[in-house]
Structure 1
């Protein structure tokens, strides 16, 4: 799956990586729903770190359709709330 982190570029992740990310996405969603700014910041940081760690960066000149887009690390809770879909930021691939 192709993931874009806004302002950084695209990364290629396997379906196994997606399962790993879904648990962090759930934590992020819960923090947003409860208005927990500290929990939100920690979950967003952890989510982006895992994408960077497990994803294979695509060349900057390669433009592929992204399966989903993640916010930048400095995004506000309101900005991320606006990006949430029915399945959070990370779609369920199972």
Structure 2
């Protein structure tokens, strides 16, 4: 999945929607985003990133076609999809 794909998919969702990552069948908060060598690395954290924070961080980027990867224990994992839970304002990237 690319950053631009994620932004398009979440366009109509509530600004307070929180993001989570599915890592080895565990759901953890997405806490940090880093841009490295044409990749957008997503790191687990204590507090879940919200749509509002994501838009603040990448809203003015020109190249949004970069791939999204989950970074855990020095390994990078591709994101192939997401699950939207509108009733609880959550998105799980997997």
Same fold (TM over 0.5): no
**Higher RCO structure, 1 or 2 (CA under 8 Å, sep 6+):** 1
Q: Which has the higher helix share?
A: 1
